[in-house]
Amino acid sequence: MGIKGDAGFSDIVRHFEQLGGDAVILDADMVCGRDHLLSAVMHAERAFENGTNRSKTILTETILYAAGDRQIGRATEAMRPKKNAGGAVAVLFGIEEPMLEAICMARCDSLIEASPEKAKNIGAEMFAGVSCEDAVLEHVAAVDLLKQ
């Protein structure tokens, strides 16, 4: 989900941990549609099931796939929300009700909407006749090839 407000990165992460779950907080300019995130989570889960994960946690593995990168440092740096951006995207694990008002944040799913610019931000190759969403899904899937 997209989230807007002035809470800092650490405060947002701490909030979701206090709710009993985990969250990956991403730069909204690096998220190209809901399917981008769903694909990243599905690939990360499959990597753990198959023993092909590169990281120790599902959270970091999700970031690798969302970034389309096999290097943890590069992926986390690219996907981390910029300071004072005013919005981010949260992928929640084990949290039913995010209670965003407790940290002065509000849900804003328009931050997740796909665009060719976001696909380019991620590094997805754009081809004539291919939607930006499909290009990003291919970019996520390519991480499995990079891991070999």
Give residue limits of the domains in the chain: 2-146
**The predicted structure's pLDDT at residue 48:** 96
Contact call for residues 64 and 55 (beta carbons, < 8 A): yes
Residue 73 burial (CB count, 10 A): 8
The gap from C-alpha 71 to its chain's centroid, in whole angstroms, comes to 15
27 and 81 in contact (C-beta within 8 Å)?
yes
Averaged pLDDT score across all residues of the chain: 93
Q: Of 23, 35, 20, which is closest to residue 105 (Cα–Cα)? A: 23
pLDDT score of 144 = 82
Q: How far apart are CA 99 and CA 22, in angstroms?
A: 14
Q: Which CATH architecture is the domain 2-146 placed in?
A: 2-Layer Sandwich (3.30)
Length of the chain: 148
**Can you give the pTM of this predicted structure?**
0.92
pLDDT of 85 strictly over 80: no
